[in-house]
Structure 1
Amino acid sequence: MSDTRYTLGGDEHLFAELSESMSLGAFFRGILITKELAARNLPGVTEICPANASYQIRFDPDVLDVADLQNTLEDISATVGESQGVLSTRVLEIPVLYDDPWTNETGQRFRDRHQDPNSTDLEYAARINGYPDVGSFVKAHSDTPWFVSMVGFVAGLPFMYQMVERAKQIQVPKYLKPRTDTPKLTVGYGGCFSCIYSVKGAGGYQMFGVTPVPIYDPEQRLDHLKDFMILFRPGDIVKFRPIDRAEYDDIVAAVERNDYTLVSAPVEFSLEHFEADPAGSATTILEALHAH
């Protein structure tokens, strides 16, 4: 589309910015464009990386002229409107132990870097979003599906955007100063994005809980990571399911035995249908998961 801004990144990269603001429409259009580019198998294109409201293409300039690449992208963009098209994707169920002991302990070690040193991350997030307690906030976070708009920053980390009307979206600022520690598989939140920390390390997102399901395994030992070491793909849809400590421990044991089955189902997603009826569209997505 004419409002797309293209920028060169050295001799081998072309960056396309679809929107200056985050929106499901911008994410959706970027994924449709990059999927169509991949389907065309354009000689010289070596990597395609969709991101939040943008994407980047790596190409071989000895094979493909950048002007020809941009012309191809503009041609694809002209056929992909912000609300047009259907995305064949999948919905994944991710169990989460909210208010867990590990992120709570970590949070206590870094309260001097937090907006509210006297509350937990969950308590703070619930309060500033107008929820009366942590339980109702967890329900709001886990009841709706989430759209994976990008995977990266560290290997395998998904950025997920809540699939609700804009007025109902959860908004939480990042820590005032980043932590030097975050437990592996922490479910975090910053701005309008939820995420899962694929590895232990520094971070600034609010910490809501942990999942027992590995999402990144370079050795590909687990059944749900045998095809690729990274679980999530841009365009995936995620449903968080709250679990208690007993079920968390059971899943950890199943993962260690390589006996855990990730719950997922194929689904067709139309942004046009979602925008016309967000609640009904979300229900249809979750029904596909339960039916499977």
Structure 2
Amino acid sequence: MKTRYSYGGDEHIFVECDEEMSLEAFFKSLSMATAIKKAKIKGVTEICPANASMQVKFDPDVIKPADMLKELKAIEKAAAKAKPVIKSRIIEIPVLYNDPWTHETLMRFRERHQDPKSTDIEYTARINNLDGVDGFIKAHSGAPWFVSMVGFVAGLPFLYQMVDRKRQIQSPKYLRPRTDTPKLTVGHGGCFGCIYSVRGAGGYQMFGITPVPIYDPNQKIKHLKDFMCLFRPGDIVKWKPIDRAEYDATVAAVEKGKFNLKMKDVTFDLSEFKKDMDGYNAKLMGALNGR
């Protein structure tokens, strides 16, 4: 698809890299957003990257909309020549699948679900032809996920599974949104995973919960002292299945300021990834353990 530009009033330009999500579209959006930031164009006040698009806010008294559009098209042309390589981080996020809190919540809202007689994991496993709950957990945690954007509510990451399309987990949102979702729920809607950063309404399938806070506006939590939101676009998430004992121990460690988030700086090369996805993923996940 050819990149599509559209104006949003006098001070926004929306840039659509593709109509559907892919790592190629994400890389194009991210590389353009990075290039716009580095260019320091006078009048640009905000850059908001998304899954396969972005929006640029600017001051029309400083730069005219038509001139802003010319700048963006020039940046797109230059970004197309850049190698698809980014500096990233791989972060291990423990998950208690089938936890009691999301289970209690999903049971309260079964009349809003496609299959009121099963749980969200059981339903998603069945429609993806996975071998029950255990097969689902293996598929969900067996490969890393890209953080393609952060937003909707503060600190909430959208996650895109790093496997070929036919193996990506797909699951529709609830027929009608819930009025409640536990904080730190690991959810899924369409092809995207997420972590609910705060308690509130939601429509994604609920698979489990993580004991690791990802948003702290007061910045008192150890791994969130530098910035209130854990994730940024381009991060890579590795899910780690845990049991209730490890969940409780992690919650206690976080509260005491003794929890150490497992994270490693990595370089991600899209071209190399596409040559051998499983092999490349194994190297990324191995980096967490110094391999």
Global fold match (TM > 0.5): yes
Map Cα deviations across residues 165-209 of structure 1 (whole Å, 9 max, x no partner): 111111011111110000000000000000000000000000000
Question: 2:3 — aligned with what?
Answer: 4
Q: What secondary structure sits across from 1:73 in the alignment?
A: helix
Equivalence for 1:80:
79
- Residue 26 of structure 2 corresponds to 27
- Find the counterpart in structure 1 of residue 14 from structure 2: 15
Unaligned runs of 5+ in 1: none
User: How many Å apart are 1:75 and its aligned residue?
Assistant: 1.7
1:22-59 alpha-carbon deviations (Å, 9 max, x no partner): 11110111111111111222221111110011001111
Identify the residue that residue 215 of structure 1 maps to in structure 2.
214
> Hey, what's the Cα distance between the residues in 1 that align with 2:269 and 2:82?
8
Per-residue CA distance 1:7-34 (angstroms, 9 max, x = gap): 1112221110110111111011111111
* TM norm structure 1: 0.96
Question: In structure 2, what is the Cα distance between the partners aligned to 1:76 and 1:276?
Answer: 28
Q: Distance in 2 between matches of 1:126 and 1:82?
A: 40
Q: For residue 167 of structure 1, what is the aligned residue in structure 2?
A: 166
Which amino acid is 1:58 matched to?
K
Give the Å deviation of 1:258.
1.6
| 1:237-256 equivalent positions in 2, closer than 5 A | 237-256=236-255
1:212 is matched by which residue type in structure 2? P
- Matched to 2:91, the amino acid is L
Give the AA of the match of 2:109. Answer: F
Confirm or deny: 8 A CA contact 2:189 2:205 kept in the other structure: yes
Q: Which stretch of the first structure deviates more once superposed, 55-64 or 180-189?
A: 55-64
Whether the 8 Å CA contact 1:25–1:82 is kept in 2: the answer is no
Name the structure 2 match of 1:51.
Answer: 50
Which residues in structure 2 correspond to 1:196-207 (within 5 Å)?
196-207=195-206
Within 2, Cα distance between the matches of 1:262 and 1:23? 28
8 Å CA contact 2:92–2:237 kept in 1: the answer is: yes
Q: Contact conserved, 1:83 with 1:271, CA < 8 A, in 2?
A: no
Secondary structure at the counterpart of residue 21 of structure 1? coil
Q: Which residue of 1 aligns with 2:127?
A: 128
Q: CA 1:191/1:83 → structure 2, altered by over 3 Å: closer, same or farther?
A: farther
Residue aligned with 1:290, SS: coil
Q: Which residue of 2 aligns with 1:271?
A: 270
In the alignment, which residue of structure 1 is the partner of 2:189? 190
Counterpart-to-counterpart distance in 2, 1:226 and 1:36: 28
CA deviation after TM superposition for structure 1 residue 64, in Å: 2.1
**Cα deviation, residue 133, structure 1:** 1.3
Q: 1:218 to 1:85 in 2, by over 3 A?
A: same
Secondary structure of 2:288 counterpart: helix
Structure 2 distance, partners of 1:82, 1:254, is 46
Amino acid at match of 1:266: D
Give the SS at the match of 1:150: strand
Q: Work out the percentage of aligned pairs sharing the same amino acid.
A: 61
- Residue in structure 1 matched with residue 147 of structure 2 by the alignment: 148
The Cα shift of 1:82 comes to: 9.1
Per-residue deviation, 1:83: 8.7
Aligned residues: 291
1:84 Cα deviation (Å)?
Answer: 3.3
Deviations 1:54-108 (A, max 9, x none): 0011111122222232222212211333993210111111011000000000000
- The normalised TM-score by structure 2 is 0.97
> Hey, what does 1:116 align to over in structure 2?
115
SS of equivalent to 1:258: coil
Offset, 1:117: 0.6
Q: Is the 8 A contact 2:27 2:84 kept in 1?
A: no
Query: Residue 66 of structure 1 corresponds to which residue in structure 2?
Result: 65
Check the 8 A contact 2:250/2:259 in 1, yes or no: yes
**Counterpart position of 1:230:** 229
**Is contact 1:146–1:238 with CA below 8 Å preserved after alignment?**
yes
Residue 220 of structure 1 contacts residue 228 of structure 1 at CA under 8 Å; is this kept in 2?
Answer: yes
